[in-house]
Structures are given as structure tokens and as C-alpha cells.
Chains A and B, each alone.
Chain A
Amino acid sequence: QKEVEQNSGPLSVPEGAIASLNCTYSDRGSQSFFWYRQYSGKSPELIMFIYSNGDKEDGRFTAQLNKASQYVSLLIRDSQPSDSATYLCAVNGLRTYKYIFGTGTRLKVLA
């Protein structure tokens, strides 16, 4: 079992729809959870981070964390073609400097 798992996609959604991206992790001691967006040929850029169970909203983005079920998700409302990218989930464990990344989900927003 991979430490951080994401569906590779592509996930295709029409413009204006809600895109839902999911990530599961294996280490129950994980404390910090991050979503990055990566455009082709570019470096990852932070979208959101979440530390506590529940929802965290920032503009069109909502991160959801459920530590009991070991999953974290990212919702993108009113999806735009410019949101088309690969979304990486990253997890940081307790008392460690190491971050574990999933392989990413490719999102395609169709105009």
C-alpha cells in the first residue's frame, strides 16, 4: 500500500461545475495535510493546508479532512479552464521533517 494515494485521473469536469479530488494516507500519526497545484512543466504551488478535522474554505477551494477515515479531499467550486492542472496531496507526520507526496490527480476543466 502506498503511503499517500490519489487517483491519477484525468478527472474531467465541465466549466462551472464542482471538482472533487481525493487523497488517502496510511500513517495515522499524520498531522499536516497540503494540496498543491502543478501546471505542466512548472513547480508545485500551495493551494491549501489543513491540520484539523472538518472543512476549511478559501475562496473557491474547500479542503476536507477526516482523520478517522484517513482521507483528505479538495473541492473546487465554479471550476475554470485555468484550474486544469495536476493536484498533489502531501502529508507530514508527527515529529518528522519528511513530507510524503501522492502521485497527483490530473484535472481537466472543459470549456
Chain B
Amino acid sequence: DGGITQSPKYLFRKEGQNVTLSCEQNLNHDAMYWYRQDPGQGLRLIYYSQIVNDFQKGDIAEGYSVSREKKESFPLTVTSAQKNPTAFYLCASNQGREETQYFGPGTRLLVL
């Protein structure tokens, strides 16, 4: 089965803690993305990567970091600098520019 997996489904963060969200795809897609969705809101782009070992900031990158060491993996770290991290985080991928984006099931991050 080809697709995008995200883990965990729910994640709880304590004050001052860094947490990492996992995103893996076996679609052989070059481009991968991280979005944040707040209740009743659209998707806001955090980071994206066009190829391995390269990534660009999106519209709301402050307080987040990413890496792209393998084509199939694009983990997102929510650092302690992100003061309001509670949201639904979505990972997506597509083969190239202008191609359809496919989404993983999402990770819901909550602050304790």
C-alpha cells in the first residue's frame, strides 16, 4: 500500500520541551510539506522540501525545524520557542511542481 504515514496520532508537549513529529512516504515523491491547521482555519505552510538535503521556510516557520536526510522521511520538530503549538499538523507530498498533493492522517499536538 502506497501512502503517507504520520506518527504519533496524538502528542502531548510539556512546557519547554521539544517534540518531533514523524512523516514517512513510500510514494517515491520528491517534494514533502508540513502544514499547521488551527480549528476552523485553513492550512498554513510551515516548511517544505523539494529534494533530499534541501528545505525552505514556509509562512510560519518560527519555532519549528525540519530535516530531509532521506527521500521518504521529513520529520518536524516543534521547539520550545513555539509558544502556541496546539494544532493539527499535516504532512503532504507530491511528485513535482503543480502535481496533486497527498496528505497523511495528521498528528494532533496538545500542550499539557
Q: Footprint of B on A, CB under 8 Å?
A: 4, 8, 31-32, 34, 36, 42-46, 49, 51, 88, 90, 92, 95-99, 101-104
With a 10 A CB-CB cut-off, give which of A92, A97, A98 has the most chain B CB atoms: A97
**Chain B's nearest CB lies how many Å from the CB of A100?**
8
- The interface-forming segment of B12-20, B37-45, B63-71 is B37-45
Residues in A whose Cβ lies below 8 Å from that of B33:
99
A43 touching B101 in the complex, CB below 8 Å, given contacts A88-B43, A101-B43: no
**Chain A's nearest CB lies how many Å from the CB of B33?**
8
Question: CB within 8 A of A99: which of B56, B101, B106?
Answer: B101
A31 touching B42 in the complex, CB below 8 Å, given contacts A43-B105, A98-B58: no
**Chain A's nearest CB lies how many Å from the CB of B83?**
23
B41 near A42 with CB under 8 A, answer no
B48 near A98 with CB under 8 A, answer yes
Contacting residues of chain B (39-90) with chain A, CB-CB under 8 angstroms: 40-43, 45, 48, 50, 56, 58, 90
**Chain B's nearest CB lies how many Å from the CB of A105?**
11
- A70 and B45 CA atoms in complex are apart in Å by 22
B42 near A88 with CB under 8 A, answer yes
